Structure 1
């Protein structure tokens, strides 16, 4: 009940922010409605006042929030500011499309997760040693952003080979590419988590006893899956949220009329009633997925949920090869070299005579659709993306430490369940597309993993024996914080924040791809992809360059994480 009360209170606070969007926007809603519906009428004060009175926007914040909430209880989601039509039918139809796409993507994810974990299942059930190589491929696939994989699949399978349709929704063939683009990274993430958890399950005494008793390996593998399932179900709930709220780029790229693309169009057009309805449904869906995952864990745990809880899985030490560290250093050096080479060139020079030129000595990575040097834009985009990601990481570190020390679990879980793209849509609805708005949106949700980590370490340190000894010796609160708590909490959380910089950079790139980040002509990797994707069939290099850079950044995050983990275990 305490968990439900905390989640409900946090959800109501988020819903209040959504309901107040018309009052939070920096633009006048009456002007938006006037330009969309009555373009021939002058924006006189009398006309604007009449529009505010007709739409209920002439009251204070509490009146606006109360009117929106009252409409929800009646099943009325309001009217679109742009079209003037009821929001409910269109959003309900988009929800059905998103749920169908989510189901297809989840099927792909589960199949891929089991396939990636199959070697660990076979080796563990036969009492053979497992190494970190089992999850290496899954880790690289999990680091690929959905919009990047969607662009590659559309270019290769739809445009180049013509095997599948690239746009639309309504047939089974049209669902294949979006389901693959969303399901492969999600399945790789689940497969990596499962492959990491299985060695710990097989290392427990029951597995050795079952093998000695002659139980078939297949049954031992099934028991190992059941043993790891309770810890993985919360991650499955987050994957479900990501397959709906995080599908904005995929739905937009493939012209799928789901909640994500509908919310993006509403945010760009400042059509806040439609955006409010989409965000509301996505929040409710995320809450339902989290609650279902929690209930599923309790069912799988059985009596352990009321009696003695199951012991946590403790992974045995696995070998980490030195080549992982060497590969991480080499990849970081390559990205740095490309960035420096690009910074020495002008990213804004337009040469109409060299549009979509192939790579040459003058343009090592070719030119884009406007004749601008791709290497220059790639280098300047890397500097912009990485610097903003470092700033956002510093902000999220401070927020994570503060919220984690306060033990605000419900707030942390709610923020952790919100995709950065969804937060970006809300911020874009308030301030419009803006690079710092995109950074604020990522920072608004990226602190949650750091807060959870801080909370766990804080509780662990407070229960340590040296704290009791310091208290017995008369240590004050300030001394305990400086000498005992912070030295045990701060270094691991700082390392965690540093390792999340590439993930934050990828989130910023995804918002740029959607047009919610840096605006033209500023160079940015996500913007480069969206600008040049229509010309991929004629000139693939303006798309392949930022795609390869994003893939290398994701792989670098995986390699650095593996190298740090190996060093800490060593």
Structure 2
């Protein structure tokens, strides 16, 4: 009951905050609405006064918010400030489109995750160092994958439609663009847990009895999936509300695109209804994930009958991270002496050559120089944001009753909408993308921490240590944190390229650094229209992003729980328990 009230309070606070967005941003809502309705109309004082009177803006934000909430109780979400149409039918139609796209994307993500961990399942949990292919796939930006699929598969090959939303065939390409990176991340997390499941006593006993390997593999999957279900629920909501770029590329009238357009136009009724739909979807997805986890594990969580999944893993590649890091540093070192802002119009879109190793962009600027200079700004800021998100995620994940409802609420907010809220409160500037991404980046890490913590508390060794009289600090310091921290850190490193891209993408939308700043996201976005004519203009920053993803994953392979040796549990003895002399 307390958790439900906490979730309802957070949802109400978020919806109320969105309702105050125009007044928090210190802009005139009437002017914004007038520009969205008719850009060529002169914003005279008389026209603005008529708009304010029509929308009731003179009464202030609180009466408008109360009117919207009162109508919502009756099933009326109000009318759009831009089109004048009823909000509820449009939002429900956009939600149905997004749910269909999300379902197909989840299917693609499941297939991708199965392909990532297929080798570990086939080898019975014996995992070899590697997985750079899945790391590169997880690091590719969704809008770049969508552009490549639309251009190659949709336009050149003509296998599938690349624009519009008219039937099931139109869902394939956008679902692949969304599902492939999400499946690669989930597959990496699952592959991290499988060796521990195959090393549990039941698996060794089943193998000794001669049970088929496929049956053992199915049970190992059942053992590991509950730890990933909370993150899978986050992906479900993210694929629904955060697919703005993909929906724009394929011209899909989904909920994410509808919410973003309403936020930019300050169409509050549509924005509030869309955010509320995302919040309800997030609550439903998290509830279904918790219920499914309990059904898969059964009473083991209650009885403390599990064994830890986090066992020593095989040594990771020692030379591969060094090679990848050297390649990244060499690119930066070669490009820093060059000028990233020099415009040479007679060398526009030149292919790679000795003078321009990465080619030139549409203004004739050297791409090697722009990529190298953008690496420093983007990568350093991404590292700082990832470290802050990791710290907040671990600390809040250790308090699941507090973080659970908060995660569901935060995850329902797309990063772009979070950036708009941050801009409204704190103002624009270079720090806006960092604050916005940090505000949402901790949620998956906190969910992962809470899920692992729940299972670790149900292990036999934890129950035995607690029965011997160990205190909470001892259990937290010696049992829980050493088991939970390494996989969560690996998860944070796996998300590092996505954080870098999110920062740069928000800057491109005008919520941070402005052109001609050579950030990676801006490089990808400004060169995307020339991908067919000059593919090197897009491949250069995309290759650096993929290289960063491979480096992050291979470096994360060295973050393992130490191989346990024989040790005794030190339990404080009280005077009453001390033996008589």
Query: Is the TM-score greater than 0.5?
Result: yes
Contact 2:359 2:366 in 1 (8 A): yes
| 2:577 matched residue in structure 1 | none
CA shift in 2, pair 1:228/1:41, >3 Å: closer
Runs of 5+ in structure 1 lacking a partner? 472-480
Give matches, 1:3-18, under 5 Å.
Answer: 3-18=3-18
Give matches, 1:409-424, under 5 Å.
Answer: 409-410=403-404, 412-414=406-408, 417-418=411-412, 421-424=415-418
Contact 1:23 1:61 in 2 (8 A): yes
Q: Deviations over 1:527-549 (max 9, x none)?
A: 22122112111111111111111
Give matches, 1:376-525, under 5 Å.
Answer: 376-393=369-386, 395-396=388-389, 399=392, 408-410=402-404, 412-414=406-408, 417-418=411-412, 421-424=415-418, 426-427=420-421, 430=424, 435-448=430-443, 499=493, 501-512=496-507, 516-525=511-520
Pick one of 101, 125, 130 that aligns with 2:126. Answer: 130
Contact 1:344 1:376 in 2 (8 A): yes
Q: Deviations over 1:97-148 (max 9, x none)?
A: 1111111111111223233333333332xxxx60244755434433333223
The number of residues matched between the two structures is: 551
| 1:105 matched residue in structure 2 | 105
1:293 is the counterpart of 2:289: yes
1:237 is the counterpart of 2:233: yes
1:70 is the counterpart of 2:70: yes
1:392 is paired with a residue of what secondary structure?
Answer: helix
Using the alignment, how far apart are the partners of 1:49 and 1:214 within structure 2? 81
CA positional deviation for 1:47: 4.3
Using the alignment, how far apart are the partners of 1:428 and 1:155 within structure 2? 35
1:224 is the counterpart of 2:220: yes
1:190 is the counterpart of 2:165: no
| 1:477 matched residue in structure 2 | none
Contact 1:117 1:191 in 2 (8 A): yes
Pick one of 261, 266, 276 that aligns with 1:265. Answer: 261
2:560 is paired with a residue of what secondary structure?
Answer: helix
CA RMSD, Structure 1 to Structure 2 (Å): 3.9
Please give the TM-score of this superposition, normalised by the length of structure 2: 0.82
Pick one of 196, 200, 204 that aligns with 1:204. Answer: 200
Contact 1:511 1:517 in 2 (8 A): yes
Pick one of 334, 343, 350 that aligns with 2:336. Answer: 343
CA shift in 2, pair 1:310/1:244, >3 Å: farther
Using the alignment, how far apart are the partners of 1:39 and 1:137 within structure 2? 47
CA positional deviation for 1:435: 4.7
Q: Deviations over 1:431-468 (max 9, x none)?
A: 798653322210112234566788899x999x999996
Contact 2:344 2:363 in 1 (8 A): yes
CA shift in 2, pair 1:417/1:310, >3 Å: farther
| 2:243 matched residue in structure 1 | 247
CA shift in 2, pair 1:398/1:201, >3 Å: closer
Using the alignment, how far apart are the partners of 2:312 and 2:389 within structure 1? 31
| 2:57 matched residue in structure 1 | 57
Contact 2:146 2:249 in 1 (8 A): yes
CA positional deviation for 1:167: 2.0
CA positional deviation for 1:409: 2.2
| 2:82 matched residue in structure 1 | 82
2:107 is paired with a residue of what secondary structure?
Answer: helix
1:562 is the counterpart of 2:521: no
Give matches, 1:28-47, under 5 Å.
Answer: 28-37=28-37, 43-45=43-45, 47=47
CA shift in 2, pair 1:56/1:10, >3 Å: same
1:165 is the counterpart of 2:158: no
Q: Deviations over 1:451-500 (max 9, x none)?
A: 6788899x999x999996999xxxxxxxxx9x99xx999x9899779846
Pick one of 535, 541, 546 that aligns with 2:541. Answer: 546
Q: Deviations over 1:195-252 (max 9, x none)?
A: 3322222222222333333433333333222222322222221221222122112112
Q: Deviations over 1:333-366 (max 9, x none)?
A: 2222322333322222222222211122332211
Q: Deviations over 1:149-188 (max 9, x none)?
A: 2233334333454433332222333222111111112222
CA positional deviation for 1:410: 3.2
